[in-house]
Amino acid sequence: MFKKTLIVFLLLASTTVHAAAIEKLHTFMAATHSAQANFTQEVRDKNGKRIQLASGTMQFERPGKFRWVYQKPYEQLIVGDGKKFWLYDVDLNQVTVKKLDAALGSSPAALLSGNNEIEHGFALQDIDRNDGLEWLQAEPKTSESNFEKIRLAFNPAAELVVMELDDTFGHRTTLRFSQLKNNPALSAQLFRFTPPQGADVLGE
């Protein structure tokens, strides 16, 4: 009897955790129409060696508008204007542009600012890390994504604080967000991009 009771309890506990994690995602997607935050980005290779550490600021406004500014160790700007995805490398004076739809499966910026793309294109399951955060793991439903797995961590206030992405090359990108502001009034100019004069433009 004790074993049966314990099994039932564990199953119920697992369901509760899953429901709580899914609910955090639903709350975040429903309540957060725009946001801004600072971020750090760390990339490690398949052996766990750190190969990149960057930081900057981000803003997004649904649907499909975002601006990520990388300040250290190099300057880079990523802008989504609702139709196109722009990536500007300041040092190279080079701009890469593609249709926003083509970027949804390959960019954290596009995933966060989309309309539930992560729910539509990925299968979700709960994971427990015992760190006080609610974690979800998302696996793509098709082989077209550049990511094998994505993990999102929400705090008790349903704020997104960590995003982990495992790509098809075995690299893990970890984004940590701080000073998050939900639904700030953002200027439309933030989500417009015109290639600087003399820049090489690739993809158009």
pTM score, two decimals? 0.81
> CB–CB of 167/173 below 8 Å?
yes
Query: What beta strand segments (E) does 11-121 contain?
Result: 34-44, 50-61, 65-72, 76-81, 84-89, 94-99
CATH number of this structure's domain 2-202: 2.50.20.10
At 70, the pLDDT band (50, 70, 90 cuts) reads very high
**N-to-C CA span, the chain:** 68
What local confidence, expressed as pLDDT, does residue 103 receive?
67
- pLDDT at residue 121, as a whole number: 75
pLDDT band, very low/low/confident/very high, at 76 (cuts 50, 70, 90):
very high
Q: Please determine, for residue 1, whether its predicted confidence score (pLDDT) is greater than 70.
A: no
Torsion, CA 22, CA 84, CA 178, CA 125, rounded to 10:
20
Is the pLDDT higher at 146 or at 45? 45
Of 27 and 118, which is predicted with more confidence? 27
Residue 2 confidence (pLDDT): 39
Q: Residue 106: its pLDDT value, please?
A: 58
Share of the chain above pLDDT 70, in %: 85
Strand order in the sheet with 76-81: 122-127, 134-140, 147-154, 160-167, 172-182, 34-44, 50-61, 65-72, 76-81, 84-89, 94-99, 200-202
Average pLDDT over residues 132-152: 85
Is the pLDDT assigned to residue 41 strictly greater than 50?
yes
Q: Output the pLDDT for position 36.
A: 96
Mean pLDDT of the region 80-98: 93
CA 35 to chain centre: 12
Calculate the average pLDDT of the chain: 83
